[in-house]
Every structure is written in structure tokens, then in C-alpha cells.
């Protein structure tokens, strides 16, 4: 089994920053892609950003220039630095890791007040 544990969510004012972290543990051979989704109340889950094992990056248009994703392959961790946050970024953020199947974290709440 593989477990993903997220940390770093919280409440922040508009314009502020937060950093999310996610650590994978368990029966891990090699993680292909790691990244983040988010789900706001009443909305579908959407992809925020992901990074391949080789370092290729992909961001949702809504977060480009504000969010930065990074990973440590040796530690099986992925982080999401979120800057210039706005209320539309309020959501539960879920970490994922793609291996033989996709694994998910439990989610961490990010709330941005106006």
C-alpha cells in the first residue's frame, strides 16, 4: 500500500502565500507523476499542477505565474508554493501520485479571505 500525507493548508488573506507539501510512503518503486488537484464547494475537481519524474511541469491556466510545483524524487515528496492567492483559490487541495495506479492524499483545506 501507498499513503500520501499532505500538510500546509490553512487560512490566508488575499494576496498572501501558502506552501503545500505531500509525502508518499509505503510500497513505492517509482513515482511517474506527482501533482495537485483541487475541489471548491459545488465545483468539480480540477487539475492544478503536476510534475513528471524528469521534471516536466504543467499548470492550470488559472494558476500560471502564481503557483510553483516542485518535487524531490529521493524523498518521494511534492510541494506547491502558492503566491498571490485570491478567494477563487479556496478549495480542498489533493495530492496525487501516479504509479501502477493513481494514489490520493486525504486533502487539505485552503481558504483565502477577501
Q: What is the pLDDT of residue 80?
A: 98
Q: Which residues of 58-68 are buried (b: 16+ CB within 10 A; e: fewer)?
A: ebeeebeeebb
Radius of gyration of the chain (CA): 13
Residue pLDDT, tens place only, 71-101: 999 999 999 999 999 999 999 999 999 999 9
CA atoms within 13 A on the CB side of 80: 33
Q: What is the pLDDT of residue 31?
A: 95
Question: What pLDDT band is residue 103 in, cutting at 50, 70 and 90?
Answer: very high
Q: What is the pLDDT of residue 29?
A: 86
Q: Reduced to 3 states, what is the DSSP secondary structure of residue 3?
A: strand
Sign of CA dihedral 25, 30, 36, 106: negative
Residue pLDDT, tens place only, 29-57: 899 999 999 999 999 999 999 999 999 99
Taking residues 19-37, report their average pLDDT. Answer: 95
Residues 6+ apart with CB under 8 A from 55: none
Amino acid at each position: 500500500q501507498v499513503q500520501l500525507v499532505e500538510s500546509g493548508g490553512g487560512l490566508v488573506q488575499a494576496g498572501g502565500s501558502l506552501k503545500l507539501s505531500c509525502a508518499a510512503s509505503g510500497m513505492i518503486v517509482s513515482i511517474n507523476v506527482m501533482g495537485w488537484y483541487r475541489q471548491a464547494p459545488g465545483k468539480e475537481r480540477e487539475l492544478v499542477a503536476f510534475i513528471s519524474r524528469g521534471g516536466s511541469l504543467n499548470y492550470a491556466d488559472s494558476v500560471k505565474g502564481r503557483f510553483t510545483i516542485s518535487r524531490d524524487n529521493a524523498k518521494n515528496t511534492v510541494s506547491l508554493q502558492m503566491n498571490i492567492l485570491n478567494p477563487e483559490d479556496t478549495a480542498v487541495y489533493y495530492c496525487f501520485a501516479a504509479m501502477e495506479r493513481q494514489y490520493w492524499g486525504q486533502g487539505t483545506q485552503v481558504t483565502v479571505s477577501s
